[in-house]
Structure 1
Amino acid sequence: MTAGTDSPQAYQDGLLPGTRRALMHRVAVEQAAGRAPSVSAALVRDGRMVWNGSASMVEGHAPDAGTQYRIGSITKTFVAVLVMRLRDEGRLELTDPIGVHLGGLSVPGVTVGQLLAHTAGLASETPGPWWERTPGELRPELADILGPAPVKHPAGRRHHYSNPGFALLGALVEEVRGRSWGEVLQEEVLDPLGMDRTSLRPQPPAAGGFAVHPLADAMVPEAVQQTGRMAPAGELWSTTADLSRWAAFLAAGHDGVLAAGTLADMRESAAPADTSQPDGGYGLGLQLLRRNGWALAGHTGSMPGFLAALWVSTERRSAGIALANCTSGPAVSDLAVDLMRIADEAEPPFPAPWQPAEDLDPALVELTGPWYWGTAGFLLRVVGGQPELRRMGGQGRGTRFHVEPDGTWTGLEGYYAGETLRVVRRADGSVGHLDLGSFVFTREPYDPQAPVPGGFPGWH
């Protein structure tokens, strides 16, 4: 096994030697404990890969950051971006029934958004035989991947992961764009992001996939199948270097590919909570995870002979990536998260320095301070040029707001998300109260001069 920070397979950029060794040690432990032919991993901080390392069973032949692995369901994050590009262009809406765009389906009423969030109620897999291990030519039509009974749950009721659902989304991209989803991906996403080692077919150097016997130190090669219609569910190959670029994009967006605001929408929970996975969730094509007190977004992936994981923390400005070339064994998801944790504990990121806001509207400053909803106290602050209203003491409802061109504010979080706040002024121009979705906020508890519904006789 090759494992060492001084090897050509380990790359560092600005990390302390102790941190680099701890990261490499974690990869080496996972390769050995997981009994994987190889494990390749990378750490991203502030939008760039600052470390990658690998451990291999073959002395002197560990993969580097340019070695391809099959990434399985991380493919879904790429397909989701293609769909969201169409949404942002006005070519479709997430509320559109899929049948508006694709004809001849047995499930025309499920929506684009439900397919992205795996809430359409469709089956997890295709009818037999096992799609990951059989040629895609066996299912030439969309009807073949859905089968005679594709609906397992009422649409919108629960999160139920569906590989065929993402095959429908890939077909949707092809229908709207008029060419294959792989061509669209190359032209609209991979080329602009400089991801020249991500592809539908393996390109040397590429790791071979293996099945490792669970009870004996033996392994055999896994066959690589091209999955045809099911390709949008898990076909892509990539590298730790390319996935580092992808992680940076998922965190911050990229002009001409997808806006940061749209990616923020994708990272929001879009599926009902699954009580069997209290730390997990799903957005729009992105898995969500709570770990170490962090909110993470990304995806895991598996195909015969390969495992993959990519997790992004926008809060900590970091991402972890782990790839392995075996069907099962190493806990690549835990490894990817641990890389972020190790680096964060050893070298916590510096916060951006505080700076005063540019062109701060004096009218916003005038509104800062205490406000009362009935007898409940709230504090209005302006942070980063954006107003936020929070309960005094930190408990209860609160939200940040986006200031609209007409002077109203739109709530961005929780109970008030999407709700409108209006600043109501008196005849002399002074501020009388705030109206937040019909709730009246006043400068004093139950201000008798404010239009509190039902009236208030004053304190006595």
Structure 2
Amino acid sequence: MTTPQDELLPGTRRALLHRIALAQSEGRAPSLVAAVVRGGKAVWTGARTSVEGHAPDESVQYRIGSITKTFTAVLVLRLRDEGVLDLADPLEKHLPGTGVGEATLAELLAHSGGLAAETPGPWWERTPGSLRPGLADVLGERPSAHPVGRHFHYSNPGYALLGALVEKLRGAPWEEVLRREVLEPLGLRRTTVRAQAPHAGGWAVHPWADVMLPEPLEDLGVMAPAGQLWSTSGDLARFAAFLAEGDDRVLNAGSLREMRTPAAPVEAADVASGYAYCLGMELRHRHGRALVGHTGSLPGFLACLTISLADDVSAVVLANCTSGPAPFTVAADLVRIVAEAEPRLPAPWKPSREVEPALLELVGQWYWGTSAFVLRLSADGLVSLEPLTGNGRRSRFRPEGDGTWVGLEGYYAGESLKPVRRPDGSLSHLDLGSFVFTRQPYDEAAPVPGGVDPAGWRGVG
């Protein structure tokens, strides 16, 4: 089943359907639904099922597991943007008495707070939340597994703490705050804490026989902020568009860029696999693409939401089985199919508006020692510094309003770029965090650390 869309070519839609059909068949999933987003809206939806004539659509709920963490992270970033907290604050400042208050809020968001991966037994995903009525019950007697800030160690209890933080600072239950501040503004009407019909049932498929067993649908209690939500492919498609573009009613584009930026120490195994954790989002690399989003699982369900910002393509995959299909692999393939079959058209070139002569004086070729760089001014008001040949440090810079610029990425992120002028007002050189860039290699008229040999440039013999 697919929903016909004019936005994608028939061949692309057929390739997308084939990919999810393969995933449902080989993964032995009772059902699997998917959506592809481009240009801020869903351009394709599809589903496969083992029940003839009853394929789910984009309005059928599935449990999304740890994708819930991304929703919780959005709530924490909202509090930061309002000035209620700072991500560098220790948890103890806002939620005292947990016993793990040394960890900062950023470390909890990035799973580098040193907390254990799971709660004390019994397994929280398969037992009622009533067995763990408070935070002490999800942390246990030994809540930490590593020193704070030293390792990336995925922690479900860490997000229970963040949910409790939201409740304390907002004075309302986590689910009520989520509905009011995120779900309603974004129009996610089919995303709920508890299942609402129509919804899929969760199943375990026998590994060596084609038979199934129903999985329990437990209420997770205080662990809800780590994995409780139910949603649909339609709602998650809208959420993916928000995560890529921002919405000032919920979280602006700058804060979402921060959420998508790696924030946890990267382990050697993760370097090899191209995996990094951000603030409530995962960054993975597949098919030469950087894909940011989150996966999720609970007994009976698998889920993935992933975004390729460079391609302006996102994908959502949901299945109602405990194991079988690999949702991230499928979602990454859906992104690849669209990106390769129908690559994003570049935005039309447009000239800048009126530009001050002092800005134009900055652009062009510069030298750091003998290394050649070029400084360009773009229509968005940013300047970019990049090497003319080969690899080298590069960054875009944002004007600060006082004649200086601040780096936005890479080695120069946060560093100050300052044009330095001579007493007569003419441009002498650029000072970038004490690095001197001159119009000629080792310009004699500009300050160059170490000085210039008075004999000047020379050949051999």
User: Would the aligned equivalents of 2:307 and 2:313 in 1 still touch at CA under 8 Å?
Assistant: yes
Could you tell me which residue of structure 2 aligns to residue 330 of structure 1?
A: 325
In structure 1, which of residues 106, 123, 131 is the aligned counterpart of residue 124 of structure 2? Answer: 131
Identity %: 61
1:452 aligned onto 2:445: no
Query: Which of 40, 57, 64 in structure 1 is aligned with 2:50?
Result: 57
Q: Distance in 2 between matches of 1:304 and 1:74?
A: 14
2:403 to 387, 390, 407: 407
In the alignment, the residues of structure 1 paired with residue 222 and residue 317 of structure 2 have an alpha-carbon distance, to the nearest angstrom, of 27
AA of the residue aligned to 1:312: I
Q: Residue 61 of structure 2 corresponds to which residue in structure 1? A: 68
The corresponding residue for 2:391 is: 395
Question: Which amino acid in structure 1 is aligned with residue 286 of structure 2?
Answer: R
Equivalent-residue separation in structure 2 for 1:16 and 1:304 (angstroms) = 36
Q: Distance in 2 between matches of 1:269 and 1:424?
A: 34
Unaligned runs of 5+ in 1: none
Q: CA deviation at 1:11?
A: 4.2
Match of 1:77, as an amino acid?
Answer: T
Give, as a single letter, the amino acid of the residue that structure 2 aligns with 1:422: K
Which of 68, 73, 82 matches 2:75? 82
Counterpart residue number, 2:24: 31
C-alpha deviations, 1:338-394, integer Å up to 9, x for none? 111111222112111111123434322211111111122111111232101112214
1:180 alignment partner in structure 2: 173
Hey, what does 1:162 align to over in structure 2? 155
Q: Does 1:18 align with 2:23?
A: no
Counterpart-to-counterpart distance in 1, 2:201 and 2:287 = 33
Query: What do the CA deviations read for 1:310-329 (whole angstroms, capped 9, x no partner)?
Result: 00111111101100000000
| Aligned partner of residue 344 in structure 2, secondary structure | coil
Letter in 1 for 2:409: E
2:199 is equivalent to residue 206 of structure 1 = yes
User: Do residues 252 (structure 1) and 245 (structure 2) align?
Assistant: yes
- State how far apart, in whole Å, the 2-side matches of 1:14 and 1:94 are: 41
Q: Which residue of 2 aligns with 1:348?
A: 343
| Cα-to-partner distance string for 1:114-141 (whole Å, 9 max, x where unaligned) | 0011111110000111000111111111
**Normalising by structure 1, what TM-score?**
0.97
3-state SS of paired residue (1:276):
helix
Alignment match, 1:360 = 355
Partner of 2:234: 241
Give the match for residue 440 of structure 1.
Answer: 436
State the alpha-carbon separation in 1 of the partners of residues 37 and 245 from structure 2: 13
Residue pair 2:203, 2:301 contacting (<8 A) in 1 also: yes
Q: Is 2:254 aligned against 1:261?
A: yes
Residues 9-37 of structure 1 show CA distances to partners (whole Å, capped at 9, x for unaligned) of x3424211111111111111110000000
**SS of match in other structure, 1:99:** helix
Corresponding residue of 2:141:
148
* TM-score normalised by structure 2 residue count: 0.96
Q: Which amino acid is the alignment partner of residue 48 of structure 1?
A: K
Matched-pair contact (CA < 8 Å) for 2:23–2:330 = yes
The answer to whether the 8 Å contact 1:274/1:280 transfers is no
Matched, 1:282 2:271: no
- Per the alignment, residue 374 of structure 2 pairs with 379
SS at match of 1:367: coil
CA contact (8 A) 1:164 1:230 kept: yes
1:140–1:360 Cα change, 3 Å:
farther
CA contact (8 A) 1:66 1:241 kept: yes
* Partners of 1:11 and 1:53 within 8 A in 2: no
| 1: CA distance, partners of 2:303 / 2:256 | 21
Asked whether the equivalents of residues 313 and 338 of structure 2 are also in contact (C-alpha less than 8 Å), the reply is no
Q: In structure 1, how many angstroms separate the alpha carbons of the residues matched to 2:217 and 2:352?
A: 55
Aligned to 1:319: 314
Unaligned runs of 5+ in 2: none
Residues 236 and 368 (structure 1), Cα distance of their counterparts in 2 relative to 1, 3 Å cut: same
Letter in 1 for 2:411: Y
For residues 86 and 139 of structure 1, do their structure 2 counterparts lie closer, same or farther at Cα, with a shift above 3 Å needed?
A: same
Q: Does 1:425 align with 2:421?
A: yes
Within 2, Cα distance between the matches of 1:170 and 1:249?
21
The 8 Å contact of residues 13 and 51 in structure 1, kept in 2 or not, is answered as no
What count of residue pairs does the alignment treat as equivalent?
453
Q: Does 1:306 align with 2:301?
A: yes
- Residue 290 (structure 1) shift: 1.1
Shift of 1:453: 2.6
Say which SS state the counterpart of residue 350 (structure 1) adopts: coil
Distance 1:203 1:361 in 2: 58
